[in-house]
Amino acid sequence: MAGQQSTLPNLLEFAVQMSCESCVQKINSVLQGVSGIRSVKINLESEQVLVETTLTSQEVQDLIESTGRRAVLKGMGSDTLRNLEAAVAMLSGPGPVQGVVRFVQLTEEKCIVEGTIDGLNPGLHGLHVHEFGDLTDSCTSCGGHLNPYGKQHGGPRDADRHVGDLGNILAAEDCRAIFRLEDEQLKVWDIIGRSLVVDAEEDDLGRGGQPLSKLTGNSGERLACGIIARSAGLFQNPKQICACDGVTLWEERDKPIAGPGRKSTSKPSANL
């Protein structure tokens, strides 16, 4: 992964099917002591697992599900600023690339960007917040990188960068990128209603010496995109039925994470 190692944990709220105290113990045993997990709280009655972590939600979900139980992410937030802001973007495009990316504002200065994107060629891919939430012409109509201060394109740790410049994510050999970034310029309240785009090539972070380096990072065509929508923070998602497409919370996780395989994509964020 490009960028610094994340250090600030956030809270993940999962709904997990649990029937007995031994379930609680099994889930506890796979989570306790794992590097990157600070604390675990499990409530059997409400079938809730609360994890304070610097891991991605995908990684924690995989750990919980290694016990043979289903887990659904219900909310994300921070312990100190419990529901500052959270948002989600479901990415899809004309090709096979699709994914879910979540944003949580942990403090005024720290925004967590975490997600899973499938269908990418192994290697680095530019990831940017774009100016418009307009996908009427697929990923080409969402404008340039979000740049309210008229800066040059850069890397996520550069002072001189577009606000939307999130750098690169790394796709593994299985064509999946799982990532968690901390960003100090992005604010969730500034990006809701805009869009997130993943590109075909590596972003040169403005250092490539190409004509496009200082404009876009020369990161190639736009593979997939999604509108950034407000989503549930911690404990804000009490429903068991997803209002968007009628599937239950437990069925939800078997749906494709984005794209035409969902019954409806009109309000994809309602259960996330």
| Residues making contact with Zn ion (CB under 5 A) | 145, 153, 162, 165
Sheet holding 10-16, edge to edge: 37-43, 48-53, 10-16, 71-77
Residue nearer to Zn ion on the CB measure, 114 or 165 = 165
Alpha helices in the chain (DSSP H): 21-31, 57-65, 188-191, 249-252
Rg (CA), the chain: 18
- Give the helix ranges, DSSP H, for 45-154: 57-65
| Cα gap 180→196, rounded to integer Å | 15
In the numeric block, the tokens 């060629």 are attached to: 121
DSSP state of 45: T
Least distance in angstroms from the C-beta of 231 to Zn ion? 24
Residues 261 and 247: their CA atoms lie apart, in Å, by 13
Smaller CB separation from Zn ion, 75 or 164: 164
- The 8-class DSSP code of residue 157 comes to T
Is the CB of 13 or the CB of 165 nearer to Zn ion? 165
Distance in Å, CB of 206 to Zn ion, minimum: 8
Q: Smallest distance, Å, CB 164 to Zn ion?
A: 6
Structure token digits, residue 95 = 């090709």
Q: What six digits make up the tokens of 170? A: 């790394």
Supply 58's token pair: 């995908």
**Neighbouring-strand partners of residue 183:** 111
Tokens describing residue 239: 């429903």
Is the CB of 178 or the CB of 197 nearer to Zn ion?
A: 197
Q: How far is the CB of 219 from Zn ion (least distance, A)?
A: 9
Q: C-beta of 245: minimal distance to Zn ion in Å?
A: 34
Measured from the CB of residue 262, what is the shortest distance to Zn ion in angstroms? 30
Nearer to Zn ion, 153 or 222 (CB): 153
* Cβ at position 129, least distance to Zn ion in Å: 9
Q: How many CA atoms lie within 13 A of 242 on its CB side?
A: 27
Nearer to Zn ion, 74 or 130 (CB): 130
In whole angstroms, what is the distance from residue 58 CA to residue 177 CA?
A: 11
Of 125 and 162, nearer to Zn ion (C-beta) is 162
